[in-house]
Structure 1
Amino acid sequence: MTVDRDDRPSISRTDRTGRPAVEPAPDSAAAAVRGVAARVLFRRTARAAQVTVDDGSTRSEAGGGGPTMTLVDPDAMFRRLGSSGLIGLGEAYMAGEWTADDLVGVLVPFAERVGTLVPPALQRLRRLVLPSQPPEEENTVDNTRSNISRHYDLSNELFALFLDETLTYSSAHFESDVAAERATAHDLARAQRVKIDRLLDHAGVGPGTRVLEIGTGWGELAVRAAARGATVRSVTLSAEQRLHARRKARDCGFEDRIRVDLLDYRAVHGEYDAVVSVEMIEAVGMAYWPTYFATVERLLAPGGRAAIQAITMPHDRMIASAGTYTWIHKYIFPGGQIPSKEAMRDAAAGAGLRVDETDAFGVHYARTLRLWRERFEANWPRIADLGFDETFRRMWTFYLAYSEAGFASGYLDVVQVRLVRDRR
């Protein structure tokens, strides 16, 4: 079957993802004034970050010869920046208004300076100027299913074309930082299984263990836990993931040990020896972290353990950016919020849980994202045949590169933590 496709940026229509289409850059008088201010601020920031900005007529050279950002339509890009901040930067890339031969190389210096990109005086005005998170994206029981579906129900075929054979959509663990830096696509599946096994070890999963998995993914963790002799209940809000995970359990011969429910984690009841969750807390929302950890504590059997893998950011930046509506929210993960290690520790403590062990490996996530992005680009013709257009390609490329830059710069980290009941 052939699928209609459009190789031009679809800047005026809603694509198959259900996300807002990229509108043309604002052209009001106010947007023009803001664009002038954004141009001055951006060029100053680029010089400090040692990024060369080339708009075709002038070239702002970075000291020491840094990566080059090519502005195809600088006026439009700066009007976007002035009107919607970093949302505008991502939208300008999606609309083809700027590009870079080394996208991650351009983004890393900005990620390293994210706390100082905007002068303090202007930072105080950000909540007055920039959009806030829409109430319909708050992670209430009623909204969360829609938020999850917008990303994870895009297409199982899409994810299969850039993930490895395990269909694991979280950071791999390459056993050492040196191994991570040298890893190739051939190493990815093994590194994903290593990551899963480390988490199962933290939770003490073995023969007879009753396991609850919050956030199913496509079923690899459930299968590996069942292979250890555990019985697994996994909950997800993605219909596409549930379908695949149930089929995988059946094909691997574990249909009698794995149950996959389309269910919000807050509605789970029962008692489990181990609760495990991989990079799901980021979708919970800051307001619901206490509920999340209270649910984990409620479901743990006496002597049980929880093991969670989570993306983290510095605590001060988490506080400063809380409530800000970002490009990632608008186009990739509606309703999400990356926690800090301190925020997780405090929310867990409030629920009567104590962080017993922590394992951080952010460098491994940078490499994982690079390998995903390389596979995405290599398989783009097949992805396009699924019905995704050129704007989606630029959106997804920016998302993967933006995320990689966060980990490569050290601004983001990924950790596995073990939680036990606090007996004090």
Structure 2
Amino acid sequence: MAARTAPAQPAPAQPAPIASAVRRDTADAARWPDVARLPAAQPVRTAIARHLVGRALHRLSLLEPDGAPAGATAGPVLTLHDPQAFYLRIARHGLTGFGESYMAGEWDSNDLPGALTVLAAHADTLVPAPLRRLRPLWAAARPGQDRNTPQGARRNIHRHYDLSNDLFAAFLDPTLTYSSALFTAFPARFDSLAQAQHRKIDRLLDLARVEEGTRLLEIGTGWGELALRAAARGATVTTVTLSAEQADLARNRIRAAGLADRVEVQLRDYREVRGRYDAVVSVEMIEAVGCEYWPDYFTALRRALAPGGRIALQAITMGHQQMLNTASTHTFISKYIFPGGLIPSRRAITEHADAAGLRTTADDGYAEHYAETLRLWRQRFTTNKDAVTALGFDPVFQRMWEFYLAYCEAGFRSRYLDVRQLLLTEGTRR
């Protein structure tokens, strides 16, 4: 059964962006050193960035024409509060500098995901091809400490998923599901987000044929919703995570549901899993593994599978060349959101699965569903700004998180990114 998709429609109305209460000179320099301080002046590179980026923004109608009143341009636009800082950051740090400039309050947009969608749709033409080939000369390399060794993976997971369960509760739905939902229509007028998340989970469990008596392994617990729904079907579930906060809350939710006899939550690396299972499910976990360890990940999946078993994956994907371009560089997302992570291509998934003795027997995509999920998350995040502030997350963090959610939404809305549900079984491609 293919994931249902709706006809393309205009992007729905977006929540109002978080007003820029941030100025560079008010940012905590100890916590946000690259936001609070500008890079060293580089006049030539800044002039080149101003020429190339400014021309591209004007060509895409993302800047008001010189002398035009605010609001003269229909559609999303960027408002540059500090153009010199904006172009300097881009000249020095590319897209990471672009995001840091937003965190510093140096620019805003009347429709942040809309503007980012336009940029994502033209990502391969914003910079002339000869200059794109020079990317390795200026793009920062990924820090060695972000490698997903067994110790490094624990640090990387802690930096994101252990921020605060209450933070995630401020923008996720009551199921606390942090992955793409599956809707029946767009915008989501006929589903609650929780219903759409349950539809997604149930489809994955159906793919893996999880039923009464199934021995299920889940790699990547989240906050326990998939394990709960699998146990309610009569499955016996082992679920593993490296997030201590997620594990604690998942165990509490499982006990409260009266399913502790069916679900075991283990604080364990996927490489340490032992035993054989009738079904394995892993939802948006591969992106956190890192390409260096994809062979280990697929080997662990294959090792855990009992004869005749099935593996259901949900994975974010990008084009193969884009993946190769991103693999060795330190991006905004790897620096601030998911250290050590990398989004795979469909080709990379197929090749690594095949090398591990696994065959892809189903592969369905639904990027527009993730765009809608992210829109709703960002809407909840901005609505609950006061609660986020009360948790101790400062304005720079809030601008960062808003940019992250909008940036990802734009990736899916432009189809630069996709999200796939895949079924893997024993055997390789013929």
TM-score with structure 2 length normalisation? 0.91
Question: By how many angstroms is 1:124 displaced?
Answer: 1.8
Cα displacement string for residues 305-342 of structure 1 (whole angstroms, at most 9, x for unaligned residues) = 10000001111211222211100111101011001111
8 Å contact kept, 1:47–1:63? no
Amino acid at match of 2:391: L
Identify the residue that residue 331 of structure 2 maps to in structure 1. Answer: 326
What is the distance in 2 between the residues matched to 1:216 and 1:262?
9
- 2:386 matches 1:381: yes
- 2:112 matches 1:103: yes
Question: By how many angstroms is 1:120 displaced?
Answer: 1.8
- 2:122 matches 1:122: no
- 2:39 matches 1:26: yes
Residue in structure 2 matching 1:252, options 246, 254, 257 = 257
What is the distance in 2 between the residues matched to 1:59 and 1:281?
47
CA RMSD across the alignment: 2.0
8 Å contact kept, 1:46–1:62? no
Cα pair distance change 1:410/1:325, threshold 3 Å: same
Residue in structure 1 matching 2:203, options 198, 201, 206 = 198
- 2:89 matches 1:73: no
Amino acid at match of 2:409: E
Amino acid at match of 2:341: G
Matched pairs, number: 407
8 Å contact kept, 1:8–1:389? no
Identify the residue that residue 140 of structure 2 maps to in structure 1. Answer: 131
Identify the residue that residue 356 of structure 2 maps to in structure 1. Answer: 351
What is the distance in 1 between the residues matched to 2:116 and 2:397?
19
Secondary structure (helix, strand or coil) at the match of 2:116 reads: helix
Cα pair distance change 1:316/1:14, threshold 3 Å: same
Question: By how many angstroms is 1:288 displaced?
Answer: 1.1
Amino acid at match of 2:123: V
Question: By how many angstroms is 1:66 displaced?
Answer: 4.2
Residue in structure 2 matching 1:162, options 140, 163, 171 = 171
Question: By how many angstroms is 1:244 displaced?
Answer: 0.5
Amino acid at match of 2:316: I
What is the distance in 1 between the residues matched to 2:406 and 2:30?
23
Cα displacement string for residues 183-213 of structure 1 (whole angstroms, at most 9, x for unaligned residues) = 0596100000000000000111001111110
Secondary structure (helix, strand or coil) at the match of 1:85 reads: helix
- 2:24 matches 1:13: no
Amino acid at match of 2:138: V
8 Å contact kept, 1:43–1:60? no
Cα displacement string for residues 46-93 of structure 1 (whole angstroms, at most 9, x for unaligned residues) = 133332257xx7569999844210000010111100000000000000
Cα displacement string for residues 199-257 of structure 1 (whole angstroms, at most 9, x for unaligned residues) = 00011100111111000000000000000000111110101100010001100011011
Cα displacement string for residues 366-397 of structure 1 (whole angstroms, at most 9, x for unaligned residues) = 00000000000000001100101111111011
What is the distance in 1 between the residues matched to 2:359 and 2:80?
49
Amino acid at match of 2:76: P
What is the distance in 1 between the residues matched to 2:279 and 2:187?
34
What is the distance in 1 between the residues matched to 2:112 and 2:400?
12
Q: Which runs of 5+ in 1 are unaligned?
A: 1-6
Identify the residue that residue 155 of structure 2 maps to in structure 1. Answer: 146
What is the distance in 2 between the residues matched to 1:130 and 1:354?
36
Amino acid at match of 1:233: T
What is the distance in 2 between the residues matched to 1:8 and 1:67?
21
- Superposed structure 1 runs of 4+ greater than 4 Å apart: 7-10, 57-66
Identify the residue that residue 4 of structure 1 maps to in structure 2. Answer: none
Identify the residue that residue 87 of structure 1 maps to in structure 2. Answer: 96
8 Å contact kept, 1:273–1:303? yes
Secondary structure (helix, strand or coil) at the match of 2:363 reads: strand
Amino acid at match of 2:339: P
Identify the residue that residue 294 of structure 1 maps to in structure 2. Answer: 299
Q: Which runs of 5+ in 2 are unaligned?
A: 1-20
Residue in structure 1 matching 2:340, options 320, 335, 338 = 335
What is the distance in 2 between the residues matched to 1:202 and 1:420?
11
- 2:242 matches 1:237: yes
Secondary structure (helix, strand or coil) at the match of 2:38 reads: coil
Secondary structure (helix, strand or coil) at the match of 2:58 reads: helix
TM-score with structure 1 length normalisation? 0.92
Secondary structure (helix, strand or coil) at the match of 1:22 reads: helix
Residue in structure 2 matching 1:367, options 345, 362, 372 = 372
Amino acid at match of 2:163: L
8 Å contact kept, 1:50–1:62? no
The 5 Å alignment of 1:44-63 reads: 44-53=55-64
Identify the residue that residue 407 of structure 1 maps to in structure 2. Answer: 412
Amino acid at match of 1:75: Q
What is the distance in 1 between the residues matched to 2:191 and 2:345?
32
What is the distance in 1 between the residues matched to 2:303 and 2:35?
43
Question: By how many angstroms is 1:128 displaced?
Answer: 1.4
Amino acid at match of 1:85: G
Secondary structure (helix, strand or coil) at the match of 1:307 reads: strand
Cα displacement string for residues 256-277 of structure 1 (whole angstroms, at most 9, x for unaligned residues) = 1111111110011111111100
Cα pair distance change 1:374/1:251, threshold 3 Å: same
8 Å contact kept, 2:34–2:100? no
Identify the residue that residue 3 of structure 1 maps to in structure 2. Answer: none
Cα displacement string for residues 79-131 of structure 1 (whole angstroms, at most 9, x for unaligned residues) = 10000000000000000000011111111111001122222221222111121
What is the distance in 1 between the residues matched to 2:200 and 2:221?
15
